[in-house]
Amino acid sequence: MENRMAEQKVSEVVASNIKTAHVFKKYGIDFCCGGGISIERACSKHAIQMDQLIAELMRVDQAVLPAQNYNNWPLDFLMDYIIQTHHSYVLEAVDMIKSYAAKVVKVHGEGHPPVIEINELFLRVASELQFHMQKEEQILFPFIRKLVQEQKDKTSSLAPHFGSVANPIAMMEQEHELAGDLLKKIAVLSNNYTPPEWACNTFKALYAKLDEFEQDLHIHVHLENNILFPKAIALEN
């Protein structure tokens, strides 16, 4: 299987499954204009471990995680999961999408103006979410951890400068709604992430990654709005 894949052209692999584009992008392999070489040659050219690359290509369609009963998780464990899974994903995906979008706008922006607006909207989403996650990791989540510890120790302390935990939570929920609205606009402009028939592989990869990004955000926001935040408010009360 690996030998057969090694002989395939990069462009052929991406054409058969656009998700593989993200793996090639991660390793700095040009899957668009320079995709006419075999995986073996591309790995040799970029000094990449071919077996490692092929293993990642073969895993692109596997479910990331089985279904989880998040509602039963302790809050401190849930926050760790959100940071390590969803916050980490956002940081990695943002850089990749920015790179795709910049290239697509440069090559196709004049002939297909919606990609210019999509790029501008995504830059807003990226900026909003990065600042949003900083506030969660540096202010809100540490305070919720403190509430959890106080419950375990049966102690209490003075209220923080922001008063009730419900106050920063309300702000986080507003920011979630803003990010969601921006992504809805991107979905409309991209015809629900459907690339034009003439789209190159980078164009297709951009829309596929945007689609994935929105789906991840839905889970991310669900875990916070519907599980973490209500439980934190109840814990404080």
- Among the listed ranges 41-55, 145-159, 215-229, which one has the minimum average pLDDT value? 145-159
- pLDDT tens sequence across 108-155: 999 999 999 999 999 999 999 999 999 999 999 999 999 998 888 777
Phi/psi at 233 (5° precision): -65, -45
pLDDT number for residue 1: 56
With CA atoms as reference, report the closest residue to 149 among 76, 73, 71, 72.
76
Report the predicted TM-score, pTM, of the whole model to 2 decimal places.
Answer: 0.80
Query: Sign of torsion, CA 106 119 214 142?
Result: positive
Determine the Cα–Cα distance for residues 171 and 57; give it in Å rounded to an integer.
39
Phi/psi at 25 (5° precision): -60, -45
- Residue 2: CA atoms inside 13 Å, Cβ hemisphere, count? 9
